[in-house]
Amino acid sequence: MTERFVVAIDQGTTSTRCIVFDRHGQLVSLAQQEHKQHFPRPGWVEHDAGEIWRNVERLAPLALQRAGITTGQVSAVGIANQRETTVLWDRRTGVPVGRAVVWQDTRTDGLVNTLAHAPGAAEVQERSGLPLATYFSGPRLNWILDHTPGLRDRAERGEVLFGTMETWLIWNLTGGLHVTDVTNASRTMLLDVRTLRWSPQACEFFGVPMAMLPEVRPSVAVFGRARSAFPGVRIGAALGDQQAALFGQTCFTPGEAKCTYGTGSFLLLHTGPELIRSTHGLLTTVAYQLAGEPAQYALEGSIAITGSLVQWFRDQLELISSAPEIETLARTVADNGGCYIVPAFSGLYAPHWRSEARGVIVGLTSYITKGHLARAVLEATAWQTREVVDAMNANSGLTLTTLKVDGGMTADNLLMQSVADVLDVPVVRPLASETVSLGAAYAAGLAVGYWSDLEDLRRNWHRAAQWMPAMEPAVRDREYGNWRRAVERTFDWITPA
Amino acid sequence: MQSIERAAAILRMLAGGTGRLGLGEIAASLDLAKGTTHGILRTLRHVGFVEQDRVSGRYQLGAAVLHLGDSHLDVNELRSRSINWADPLAARSGEAVRIGTVRQGRALVVHHVFRPDDTFQTLDTGTLLPLHATALGKVLLAYRAAEPPAELEAFTRRTVVSRRELATALDRVRTAGWGTEIEELTLGEAAIAAPIRGYGGLVVGAIGISGPVERLCDTRYRPHPRLVGHVRDAARAVSADLGAARH
Ligand SMILES: Nc1ncnc2c1ncn2[C@@H]1O[C@H](COP(=O)(O)OP(=O)(O)OP(=O)(O)O)[C@@H](O)[C@H]1O
Ligand SMILES: [Mg+2]
């Protein structure tokens, strides 16, 4: 019998990956392509949805070729995607209306301020489980509809469709299926997170015609068969990338958590079928839903800028020529020299939710070298993790005893040690750092019976590395105090126009 | 061969000139077609010998030329680029994986993946290992990534301590394309390693597995071909990622 495989499409913020996995959840081949980031104005971030789809079409055969397999050997394809990024397209032609507006985009900050005082704002936040912020699709969709002449009318008539990235990809893969999954839908502010249906009140609040919304489906279910990219293969799953990583880390039991370190970093704690409302600046979000079963929920601590701070250091300051060199540079000094960088580039997300905050570098003296700055860059990720872990512990009443990590930044030993040091708990990396893709593959494989059950998947999880805390408590307390003072200095920077 | 001469001429020009040069100036000075010159410049940029100014598009000598004698691949970058291939190697072989490169006349452990049995293990990234007594080190020596140490210290009865014997062992590594260590550093322990190649095929590191002799070898102390295959596959995958295959 010929061996069979599962393929994941990980449509991320900076790149798209296509990865082939075997039965043990091990990576067999990978094809990856970056797409262009458009920054038309300060604070604006856009992607070309057409370019992204073309990348998927190109990467699919490449990944199979690198694995030495045919489409016939692929049991299912799963999709994980950057969340909240908003795509609109013409139902008839399939052509995108303008560029996709990316989750990091802050053009809606004025609008969000206004909406916060509009009648019904409290209820919309309550129903969606999310605070009003530029981060989510609802305000963004409102903005696009307001700023494109005639668009709202076309949307009313069902001529223009809305989707997040997985919706756009499934539409193109299947040739016209307009669907989303519960995890992605739960990031729009338009979904009632309890009933898992579009909320007419929220749509009304954001001025969004319901005719343009995709059908909401469970995350782990056969969505349909692909006609292009993987002709004939069943699409077995779609999940937001962070939920996919939670699945890839096999956090199937309430109380299990992971943090994924990529462009941003996201700590998700599985809370089970009961929805827990956040009291500490976290988000209530859907973790996943298996077809025919109740949805599982999670509490999420979202950090907007972590890996992208390293990218900024590389591309804008040009102090290093590749991201991993940040560690080499940071190791040229023993400590941060009293310098702190708070990367509030898109405001601050969890647990602060301050959209008017902007980044600061504090503690500068003539003593500071680029080595100290590199340390401060890595420490910013560690301290931001500490803030969301503290919020998580306070919110859930549980105390995190180890942190499961994944994502590209886990290749950074100094950073992982620093996370263990500031959290004062061991940090563990599983035998798979591409857990976003792995989670999408697991979910899709489960939907088509490639894997039999969640236990089957759990058996594939193994510890690949572990960092033990080694920081003096007095040092930790002092540094945390400094970090918090630095964070306060970012507040209230953007003044209302 | 002609293109190597032309590349050398371009480098000389950039080294001798004052400031940055445009494509047109370079092509005209060397009496070359613009297309040809552009192709050579692109390759030189790829290996870091030439840099292009983002704004003006003009060219200058790259940092890599100035550091030709140094190790040319950042160790943290090597770890980042190999992490996706080291994990499957650990999963398939069931053994611990290490990646090594040369530092201070020894093999520096750049990356370490635990044996996937969830027992307590400690990361030994940053450790320095003797070159002549380890599979990683012998692979690095065999491909001239390092010079053998002056003194060949004995760690066990099986450590290779004679220069002649070491030369023969390194010959065998080159012929086979992989190397072993069988109780040469620690009693009861064996290892298998293969070279990681960067641009132009240059060996920039080694990747290998290690574990008890009875798991890695048959009763006649020969490494299991299945494990050797896994190690070589992983080494090839990392090399392809680093751009070795493109040249
Ligand atoms: N060794 C390293 N040290 C620090 N940061 C690193 C290192 N290697 C990669 N990064 C950072 O990690 C990020 C890449 O990680 P990863 O590949 O997981 O993200 P991603 O999935 O591409 O992000 P997205 O899905 O948002 O596109 C980049 O922002 C990069 O700057
Ligand atoms: Mg990603």
Q: Provide the whole-model pTM.
A: 0.86
Ligand 1 in reach of A14 Cβ (< 6 A): yes
Residue spans in chain B of domains classed CATH 1.10.10.10: 2-61
The H-or-E segment that residue A245 falls in is helix A241-248
Q: A464–B114: do the CB atoms touch at under 8 Å?
A: yes
Architecture of domain B69-241: 2-Layer Sandwich (3.30)
Res. A387: pLDDT tops 50: yes
Q: How many other CB atoms are found less than 10 A from the CB of residue B124?
A: 11
Res. A376: pLDDT tops 90: yes
pLDDT in tens, A8-66: 999 999 999 999 999 999 999 999 999 999 999 988 999 999 999 999 999 999 999 99
Which range among A124-133, B86-95, B216-225 shows the weakest confidence by mean pLDDT?
A124-133
> Which ligand 1 atom sits nearest the alpha carbon of residue A314?
31
Q: Which residues of B touch A412 (CB under 8 A)?
A: 76, 80
Quick one: pLDDT at residue B247?
37
Which range among A273-282, A402-411, A480-489 shows the weakest confidence by mean pLDDT?
A273-282
pLDDT in tens, B34-68: 899 999 998 888 877 888 888 888 888 887 776 66
Ligand 1 in reach of A37 Cβ (< 6 A): no
Q: Which residues of A touch B87 (CB under 8 A)?
A: 26-27, 431-433, 464
Domains detected in chain A: 5-245 (3.30.420.40)
Assembly ipTM:
0.88
Q: B123–A24: do the CB atoms touch at under 8 Å?
A: no
Q: Kindly indicate the confidence band of residue B245, based on its pLDDT and cuts at 50, 70 and 90.
A: low
Residue recorded with tokens 């509030």? A344
Angle at CA of residue A239, ends A163 and A6, nearest 5°: 120
**CA-nearest residue, atom 25 of ligand 1:** A12
Res. B215: pLDDT tops 70: yes
Residue spans in chain B of domains classed CATH 3.30.450.40: 69-241
For chain B positions 88-107, those within 8 Å of chain A (CB to CB) are 88, 90-92
Sheet containing strand A257-261, edge to edge, reads: A283-288, A296-303, A265-272, A257-261, A403-406, A427-430, A463-467
Region for B47 from its dihedrals, namely left if φ exceeds 0, alpha if ψ lies in -120 to 50, beta otherwise: alpha
Quick one: pLDDT at residue A497?
64
DSSP class of B220? T
Quick one: pLDDT at residue A210?
94
CB distance from A417 to chain B under 8 Å? no
Q: B113–A463: do the CB atoms touch at under 8 Å?
A: no
pLDDT in tens, A354-368: 888 999 999 999 999
pLDDT in tens, A150-180: 999 999 999 999 999 999 999 999 999 999 9
Chain A closest CA to B132's CA: distance in Å? 27
Which one-letter amino acid corresponds to residue B119? T
The Å distance, Cα A14 to ligand 1 centre, comes to: 9
In DSSP notation, A400-466 reads --SEEEESGGGG-HHHHHHHHHHHTS-EEEES-S-HHHHHHHHHHHHHTTSS-SHHHHHTT--EEEE
The Å distance, Cα B24 to ligand 1 centre, comes to: 37
For chain A positions 340-359, those within 8 Å of chain B (CB to CB) are none
Architecture of domain B2-61: Orthogonal Bundle (1.10)
